[in-house]
Structure 1
Amino acid sequence: MYVNYMEAIRKRYENLGYQSYRWFVAENAPAWSAVQKPLSKSKLGLLSTSGAYALGQMAYHYKDDSSIREIPIGTPTHEIRFSHITENYLVSPRKDPNCILPIETLKSLAKKGVIGSLASTAISCMGGTYSQRKVREEIAPSILEKFMRDDIDCALLVGM
């Protein structure tokens, strides 16, 4: 099934009362940061923009929620929940959370030595945030702070 994502998002935001969305255009390319050590010796952080949260944590608000959730890596799969502005994309993740928050796969790769280790928590945010300012000034710094606190060598972003 083909989904015209840009048009679908534009209509979704209009239905929520927002002005026509201006897609972000970076003035400069981000600085390249080469990997400093092999993945087998690296600590990996996991970031998902799926609106995932663990049972007992607060769900995301559909309208510009700029908060993040830290989901302990040991959280059982059946305790992973999702709330996101694009509810129709959550059918598969609700059946198998690992398709968008691949904790079990990454734990398996760490056990096999492909990954040195995993951060103790995965980070999730609601990736459909309308405000570019909130992403730049709130969400991104919160994620960076958490990854730095956990001494992450590299991160896997699983976008929604």
Structure 2
Amino acid sequence: MELSRKAIPYTPNDKPLHETTIMIVSTSGVHLTDQEPYNTDPSEGDATYRVIPGDVDPKDLTVTHSAPKDHYNTDYPKEDINCVFPIDRLREMVDDGDLGGVAEKHITMMGYSMRLNKINKETIPALVKEVVRSKADAVLLTAG
């Protein structure tokens, strides 16, 4: 199978999970209720991302997304944010001793955007810098 130039090669992690700190990176459109919502106008799109603090209260999170409701129904994550942004599940794993930690920050964006050139050239490099600067050992990718 031929890989795309944009494919990320598999990178094994030798650190045991109970010593690993996880960062969530999501295209589900999650953001803090006091952050600017994502632009849902399909003619404009949104190539921005939001940084979510690691100690966030899940009640302070919501979802803004422009994908059609039959593609991604945001009613469900608004009822339980953990179905797309599993912050409580990660914290439970830490409490149970199965996971080393939850990162100090997480990153989200709206995955349904036609601004792919801008996302590839600007958003993703900026997002990658945020991940690299974090103290996370691994990233959990989620989508809406």
TM-score, normalising length: structure 2: 0.85
Q: 1:146 aligns with which of 127, 130, 136?
A: 130
Instruction: Tell whether 2:31 aligns with 1:53.
Output: yes
> Which secondary structure does the structure 2 equivalent of 1:53 belong to?
strand
* Alignment check: 8 A CA contact 1:68 1:142 kept: no
Cα RMSD of the aligned pairs, angstroms, is 1.8
Give the deviation of 1:139 after TM superposition: 2.3
- The offset of 1:27, in angstroms, is 4.5
* Worse overlay, 27-36 or 46-55: 27-36
Q: Does 1:77 align with 2:58?
A: yes
Identity %: 26
The TM-score, its normalising length taken from structure 1, stands at 0.77
Distance 2:5 2:112 in 1: 22
The answer to whether the 8 Å contact 2:105/2:134 transfers is no
Number of equivalences: 136
Give yes or no for contact 1:65–1:126 (8 Å, CA) kept in 2. yes
Please tell me the residue identity of whatever aligns with 2:12.
Answer: A
Please, which of 93, 101, 119 is the counterpart of residue 77 of structure 2?
93
Q: Which moved more, 1:28-37 or 1:47-56?
A: 28-37
**Structure 1: gaps (5+ residues):** 1-24
Q: Which amino acid aligns with 2:135?
A: D
Counterpart of 1:41, as a letter, is E
Secondary structure of 1:108's counterpart equals helix
Q: Please name the residue that 2:99 is paired with.
A: 115
| SS of aligned partner of 1:139 | helix
Report the CA distance shift for 1:150/1:30 in structure 2 as closer, same or farther (over 3 A): closer
The alpha-carbon deviation at position 87 of structure 1 amounts to: 5.5
SS, match of residue 121 in structure 2: helix
2:14 is aligned to 36
Report which stretch shifted further, 89-98 or 26-35: 26-35
Kept in 1: contact 2:17–2:100 (CA 8 A): yes
Pair 1:82–1:116, CA change in 2 (3 A): same
State how far apart, in whole Å, the 2-side matches of 1:153 and 1:28 are: 22
- Please state how far the C-alpha of 1:151 moved relative to its aligned partner: 2.5
SS of residue matched to 2:15:
coil
Deviations 1:115-137 (A, max 9, x none): 11111122110111212222221
